[in-house]
Amino acid sequence: MRKTPIIPALLVVAAIFPGFAAASEGLPPATDLQTDGRLAQAQRLPIVLFFHSASCPYCRQVEDLYLRPLAGENARTPRMVLREVEIDAPVPMKDFRGARTDMRAFASRQGVKLVPSIRFLGPDGTPLVPELLGYSSPDFYAGYLEDAIRSATRKLRAPGAR
């Protein structure tokens, strides 16, 4: 019996299913929200911030089941600027005004106390629709998430919107 090396086999899978590679990586961190805001403004896309904690098992489920696949789709057809913020990490970042801070302080200033929390923001960081807070219903979560993204996009693109 001949053994197939694992690395070449994974490369073949990644080539056949391009979303597989994107889905296996983490979400892009919110390192520069000012730049993300300019991108969102230019492309008229909502900014979707995923606030999570490394110790939160529900956060992991939301990321693995919904956000990573969504990030893979978004890489092919951009519908949002998707970023993650780890609320208990001192990871350096810039806020929407360009001020230097870290993820922990940013989350605190945003009033994030419970995770998972997904916020749908305009290019300047103002909320477009209510946040998705917690994870209680796996049966409906994908629908709630999709509805919020669509509503945020409609609000952002409405006549007279910013």
Amino acid present at 162: R
Of the listed ranges 9-23, 60-74, 111-125, 129-143, the least confidently predicted one is 9-23
What pLDDT is stored for residue 44 in this prediction? Answer: 95
Type of residue numbered 144: Y
Sign of the four-CA dihedral 60, 78, 109, 105: positive
Of 28 and 136, more confident: 28
What domains are there in the chain, each with its CATH number?
Answer: 29-157 (3.40.30.10)
Q: How many other C-beta atoms are found inside a 10 Å radius of the C-beta of residue 51?
A: 25
The whole-angstrom separation of Cα 116 and Cα 56 is: 8
pLDDT digits (tens, 9 = 90+) for 26-85: 899 999 999 999 999 999 999 999 999 999 999 999 999 999 999 999 999 999 999 999
The residue among 72 and 12 whose pLDDT is bigger is 72
Sort residue 111 into left (φ over 0), alpha (ψ -120 to 50) or beta.
left
Helix (H), strand (E) at residue 89:
none
Whether 20 shows a pLDDT value over 60: the answer reads: no
Phi and psi at residue 127, in whole multiples of 5°? -65, 140
Distance CA 13, CA 120 (A): 33
- Average pLDDT across the chain, whole number: 87
